[in-house]
């Protein structure tokens, strides 16, 4: 078991650390509030609410909200999903670029809904948290990879498409799930990965040009 965990960590160190961080934070919330947190406890523990961000300038919530979970099923489903797609995207992008995509996805998950709140008061009374927006960001990253390298990643994206549609459907029909956070995370992950891939391609072309000139 120990060797298996070590092998998985070596394959995807960033994903492993991210899952461990979510678990540790959940254990702390469990010790403080029990198996499930209510919205007030979630706010006290770093959950996202646009009113608190604006009026109290608690901008840290734009990031901390991504790492809290409201119950055992919530964190179990998210960590399982993160493990599945996270290891694949990390091995495809490599850790440094992967970390950038994770950060942009996390920031977009709360940042884009916050911008909508500033414009029209969007979801002023909601409290949200969880790593699922980042997971959707990684799905967006896979979409960017499939767009850039169709011969390698398009089949993988097609295989995941039914699951993606199901997750989006659940986000729509279940009121407690943040559809805006999921969509925002996916947009952030797609844009971040698309830009990273184009920068990488530009650098390779520039290097080749320097060699031949």
CA-wise closest residue to 185 among 45, 20, 42, 62: 62
Distance of alpha carbon 170 from alpha carbon 166, whole angstroms: 6
For residue 89, CA distances in Å to 44, 50, 142, 146 come to 33, 30, 7, 12
Backbone angles phi, psi at 48, to 5 degrees: -95, 130
pLDDT tens, position by position, for the chain (213 residues)? 445 545 555 678 999 999 999 999 999 999 999 999 999 999 999 999 999 999 999 999 999 999 999 989 889 988 988 998 899 999 999 899 999 999 999 999 999 999 999 999 988 998 999 999 999 999 999 999 999 888 888 888 788 777 777 777 766 655 556 788 999 999 999 999 999 998 866 565 555 444 444
pLDDT of residue 208: 44
What are the pLDDT digits (tens) for 80-110? 889 988 999 999 998 999 999 999 999 999 9
pLDDT of residue 161: 74
* Domains within the chain, CATH numbers bracketed: 2-202 (1.20.1540.10)
């Amino acid at each position: 078991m120990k060797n298996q965990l070590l092998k998985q960590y070596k394959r995807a160190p960033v994903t492993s650390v991210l899952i461990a961080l979510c678990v540790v934070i959940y254990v702390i919330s469990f010790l403080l509030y029990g198996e499930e947190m209510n919205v007030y406890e979630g706010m006290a523990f770093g959950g996202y609410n646009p009113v608190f961000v604006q009026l109290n300038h608690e901008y840290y919530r734009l990031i901390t909200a991504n790492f809290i979970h409201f119950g055992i099923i919530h964190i179990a489903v998210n960590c399982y999903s993160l493990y599945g797609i996270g290891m694949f995207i990390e091995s495809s992008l490599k850790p440094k670029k992967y970390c950038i995509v994770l950060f942009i996805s996390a920031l977009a998950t709360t940042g884009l809904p916050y911008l909508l709140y500033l414009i029209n008061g969007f979801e002023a009374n909601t409290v949200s948290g969880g790593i699922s927006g980042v997971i959707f960001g990684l799905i967006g990253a896979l979409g960017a990879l499939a767009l850039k390298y169709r011969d390698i990643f398009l089949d993988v994206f097609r295989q995941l498409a039914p699951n993606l549609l199901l997750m989006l459907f659940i986000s729509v029909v279940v009121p407690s799930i943040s559809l805006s956070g999921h969509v925002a995370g996916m947009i952030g992950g797609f844009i971040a990965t698309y830009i990273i891939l184009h920068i990488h391609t530009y650098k390779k072309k520039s290097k080749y040009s320097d060699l031949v000139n």
